[in-house]
Every structure is written in structure tokens, then in C-alpha cells.
Chains A and B, each alone.
Chain A
Amino acid sequence: MKSRIWYLLTSIMVISLLVTACGAPATTAPAATQPPATEAPTTAPTEPPATTAPPIKVGASLPLTGDFSEPGTAAKKGYELWVDVINKAGGLLGRQVEFTVYDNASNPDTAVADYERLVTQDKVDLLVGPFSSRLVIPTSEVAAKYGYAFPEPAGGAPHVFDRGLTNIFFCQPAPSADQAIPFASFILGLPADQRPKTFAVITNDDPFSVSVVEAAEKLLTDGGLEMVLKETYPPDTKDFSSLAAKVADKNPDLLVGGTQFEDAVGQAKAYQQAGYQPRGIMFTTGPGLPKEFNEALGAATEGVFAPISWFEASTAETNPEFVAAYHAKYGEEPIAEDSANAYTVGQVLQQAVESTQSVDNAKLIEEMHKATFKTVVGPLSFDELGQPKGSYMVLQWQSGKIVIVGPDFAKQADPIWPKPQW
């Protein structure tokens, strides 16, 4: 009796083992690889041309759902637009670009598994990074393990650069630690009778948000402001009512919020409910998503500040073409910064490939450290750690629109101060 079970058990095990062992060995599938996301297909709409040159495969894993879904989806649009534009113009080195993107649901472990899969299963030639420092940190290790260049659109926190990796390139004008500089300068530059005296730092425990607001904290404190409250909350916090009550009780003049999109909205709503009327408020992420932020808060967006890396009306070389192509493909909606950042990544990758005339990642890494790139966020170059050397900007919501209010080289309008009541 027992032995029969042995027989059955072992044959099942053998079968599953054999399936695994002799299962499809890693082949380089000549057809376009279909990513597994069950939502609308995410391969770039390319038509294989009559040429016989094999396509160049580029891979990414993005947070299309979950905590970072809004900026993640915006980034995907940016990447796909870039692939579209480049393929229409004849491709990269004469070869069409084939883009594969997986949804990591804002989960670092899934993101890591995705990049492993892209390299070992899908055998992509090139990688581009995900959205947010939180996802960039672990996935860059995977890229480094296999020797891939890792240009990325949204990982600028200090911990991204202090791990001794040399393959990361943060494709925004400035690393997180410097992103608060323009805003802080504006605050400190206000005349003494208007300048806020107290401020609070309320931040999400995300490496990016924390680094930006702590830099702001230092600048403001050095400039003479008093910090009356500093609170950090877990990234998936949904209930801000008690936090808002605490803030309202201290009533700081200025609120510096380290946020992603959901919690920026959450904080704003909670402050309204708690009756807290700051004279100024800044969120690190959230206000930079023109459509979603407006939909979520309506008139309450008026006067909110945020640091920003790019704006639509910028006359930086290649930007007007980007804007036109974006609207042609996606319609008249306002463009999110994250789409522009993703597009920038594509531009950096493209120019590096074209300069070195190869897709050899070692050569690309070397080139990316040396060259200056022409991008929609302006001329971009990187230091030896992959940090960009440039300056950020500050936006403010005015009359339902995003307007750049500083620094002077990009200023579109004067800032409104103090913030009108919610």
C-alpha cells in the first residue's frame, strides 16, 4: 500500500522536475516578447520594417499600479513616446527598438524579479530604470550584477549614489538633495514682514521625500526659521486626521511635505478638515501631476508649491518637438513631469548609443559619464557617481494651472504669497 504511494509521489515529483529541467531552455525568441501584464498590451507599437536587422530590445519594470501608479504610468507614456519617435525616424543604429515593460505594482521585490527576468529570460540589450528611488535602489543592483547601464528617470535620493555603483544615471537636472534649493531660496528671499517664521516638516518615509525635505529643513533653519514640528509617517498611511490635528495645533506658517501623490492629496484634505490654513505649503511630489492633482483637489490646489524638473513651455532644445509629439500621440492633456523624465532617459540612451555606435553596455556607461546630452530638461551631464549637475525649478499652482515661479532662468510668473485660504 505504502509503496504505491511512493510510486505516485515520486512520479509526480519526477514529472514536475522533468518539466522544469527540460522546459523551454532560454532561447532568444525572434518574435516580439509579450509582457505579462494583463492590462492593455504594453509593447511599443512598432512595425518590423523590411530590413533584416534584428531589433534592439529595451526593457523596464514600472509601477503601473500601487503606491506609485500615477507617476509610473506617466513614465511609461514617456518611454513609449520615445520609442515611437525613434522608430519613426529609422530606429537606433538602423534597427527598430522593441520595448518591453512589466508592472511591478510599486513593489521592490517584484521590480527586482522583473529586471532579472528582463536580463536572463528576455535577453534585452538595454535597460531603463523604474520610477522612485525606492525601486531604483534594489533594481540597480540587478543591472550592476549583469553589467548593464542603468539610466533612470526618478531615483535621486542620496542612498541611490552611495553604494559604490557606477552604472546609474539619474536623468533629471539635480539630485534630490539639491531639489529643494530653489524653493528655500524663494522663502528666504521674501521680505522680512512677509517671510514665515515657523515651519513644519511632515514627510512620508520614502528615501526620496526624506532627502528633499531634510535638505529644505537645513536651508530654512540656517536661514532663521524655526521648525516647530517634524513627523515621519509610514508610506502607506491613509488616515491623516490625527496628524493634521497635531499640525493645526502648532499652526506653523509654512508646511513642507515630503510626499508621493496619494499622501499629498491625503495631507491636503486632512488639513482642510482640521481647519489648518498655512501661509505656504510645498509638497515634493503630487503637484507635478497636472491632471491628477487638479482632479483630486479642485480649487484647493491654489498656491501649492512643488519642486519640478521640467515644464511644458520650456524652450530647451528638443523640448518643443517632444511636446508636439506628445500631444499628437496622447491628445491635449497636460504633460506630467515624469513623462518628460522618462523621455530624457531615452534621449540619453539614444545619444550614447549613437556616439559609441554600439549597444555594448560597458562602452555606454563610459560614454554616459563623459558626455553632455541634449535633452528636454536642458543640457545634462553626470558626475562619477551618476548624479546630474544642474538646477531644479519651483512650480506653483495658479488658477488651476502649473506655473514656474523660479529660479529666474525659467520663471514664467511671479509667485502668489501668502497662499489663499483653502
Chain B
Amino acid sequence: MTIPSLHLFVQTLILGVLVGGVYALMSSGLTLIFGVMRVINVAHGAFLVLGAYLTYVLFQNLKIDPLVSILITMPLFFGLGWVLQRYMLSRIESPEQTSVLVTFALALVMEGLLGAFFQTTVRSVKPSYATEALVFLTYRFPVTRLMGFGVALLIMLLLYLILQYSQVGRAIRATIQDPRAAQLVGINVTIVSAFTFALGVSTAAAGGSLLSMIYSFNPSSQADWIARTLSIIVLGGMGSLPGALVAALILGVMEQLTAIVITLYWSPIVFYFFLFFTLIVRPQGLLGEIIREKG
């Protein structure tokens, strides 16, 4: 155990908050999907990695900056999510039981295909500013993380605005609250589900772009990312966007602090610990509703 100096402590907090914002974006889609469809999309990590690979390809071949490529990848993934939901996921009877297995299978298929196309070599996107950092009051703000944080907050704000003020957003929130009541007042739950899933997957595209320039990745990274995002949405409360943000910030900071105070070896335990114990002790997380699950 090392007790960090004040400077190191604050620097770590900064790193934790910056990375927490990005984690929040990555988890937002997952929590929305659960809220509306009661589906735990275990393939979300694979979508993140797919987004990262797409960004990588665009960067390597067309020199498109990872942040700019979000404008391309998000619509693409929206379409992908729509198709997947309408023509595959909607076939499942009793989604609460089987969605984990089905989406897990999907994740495996994706991981295998990515491995076949790209091999397991580790990749990352290295824009020109990859090693720079802004310095403010002797604290360092790595440029990639800072920009990632900014973009993440921006997209989450947009998401929030859509949910609060648009018609489809209201329909989504109504469905999250009570799917049967929503249907009774005339909301087409099928379309809402497809829309939400598509929206969720498109945020994975954005998350993946950020991932690609901040971290390195290969197909098997999807397991790390699903572990992280699941922990975040569970802690935050499944179905709650603000909850995901709060939980992501908390876990991001704790992850970085653990690396400093103890060692990098123990950082992942933060996520698994919260995942495991939240589900046992307080399944609705910090800001979520109590999920009535049938066994």
C-alpha cells in the first residue's frame, strides 16, 4: 500500500474523472436497453470493440480523426442495432431469461469474426495528439482523455435531451416505467424497443471511437469492457442514465486510485466487487427502480 502525495492524489482524481466520463458514455446504451427491453445486452462490450475497430480502419486508411469518425460510425451502428433487434432479438420468447445467453452468443460470434479479420494483435488509434497533455496548475490533462471526456458529456447531454423533450424520448421513458401501461396509451412498444436498441448500439460506436484512442484493444478486450459497463449500470441502477453517469465517475476514480494505492493488479476488482455485491445487497443500484424479476 502506498499513500500517495497530495499532488499524485489529485492527479489521480483528475484521471479518474476524465476516464469516468468516457465510461459513462460507454454504459449509457446498455442501461437504456435494459430499462426499455429488460434485456441485458452482454454483447455491448463486443459492440464497443467493433466500434473501435471501425474507427481504426477509418483512421488507418482514410486518415479520419477518431472524434470525427463518430459522425460516421454512430448512424451505421444505429442501423445495425435496428436490424438486429427487429429480426433477431424480437424472436426471443421470455427475454428476461434467455437474453443473456443469446446476447452472449452474439458477443462470441462477433469476437470470433473480429479475430478472423484483424487477428489478435493489439491495436490502437494514434492521432498526432496522442501523447500530448494540457498542463493546468501543474496537473496534467492528457489531450485524448480530455477530448474523450468532452465528447462523452456532449453525447450524453444530447441523449438526455432526446429522452426528456422529444416525442420518441417520452415514449421511451414511459416504456421504461411501465411497458404495459405504455402499450395501453397507444405507444408502439415494438418500435420503441427497436429504436432504443438501435440508440444503445450507436452509443457503443461513439464509445468505441473514444476507446480506440485512449486504450489499446484486440478482439478479446470485449470481455473487459462488458465487465466494466455491466458493473457501472448495476451500481448506477439499471435503466437510469444519471445513475450510469454517477456510477461511472465513482468507479473510474476508484479504479485509478486502486492502481496507485495498491497496484494495477487489483484495479479490476473494483468493478467485480461492486457488480457482485450490488446485485446481492441492493439490486436497484443507486438510482434505479426495483426490478421485479421473475425467476
Contact = CB atoms under 8 A, between A and B. Distances in A.
A and B in contact, CB less than 8 Å = yes
Interface string B110-147: 00000010011110000000111101000010100100
Nearest to A105: B120
Given A241-B15, A275-B140, A65 B264 contact: no
A65 B214 CA distance: 22
B264 A242 contact: yes
A70 to B, nearest CB: 8
B255 to A, nearest CB: 8
Interface string B223-255: 000000000000000000000000000000000
Contact of B131 (A66, A67, A273): A273
Contacts of A275: 133, 135, 140
A242 B260 contact: yes
Given A65-B121, A274-B140, A275-B140, A245 B12 contact: yes
A38 B19 CA distance: 38
A67 B267 CA distance: 21
B217 A269 contact: no
Nearest to B142: A273
A269 B131 contact: yes
A234 interface: yes
B120 A242 contact: no
Interface string B246-287: 000000000010011001110100000000000000000000
A67 B5 CA distance: 34
Given A69-B121, A239-B215, A242-B12, A300 B131 contact: yes
B4 interface: yes
A246 B7 CA distance: 10
A246 B260 contact: yes
Contact of A274 (B2, B133, B216): B133
A238 interface: yes
Interface string A233-261: 11001110111011011000000000000
A16 interface: no
Nearest to A269: B131
A99 B11 CA distance: 53
Interface in B190-245: 214-218, 221
Contacts of B121: 65-66, 69
Nearest to B263: A231
B8 interface: yes
Nearest to B215: A238
Contacts of A243: 259, 264
Contact of A238 (B132, B135, B217): B217
Nearest to A272: B131
Nearest to A268: B131
Interface in A324-381: none
Contact of A69 (B11, B120, B221): B120
A138 B256 CA distance: 34
A248 B12 CA distance: 12
Interface of A: 38-39, 65-67, 69, 105-106, 231-234, 237-239, 241-243, 245-246, 248-249, 262, 266, 269, 272-275, 300, 422
13 contacts: A38-B116, A39-B119, A231-B263, A233-B265, A242-B12, A242-B264, A245-B8, A246-B2, A246-B4, A249-B7, A249-B11, A273-B140, A274-B133
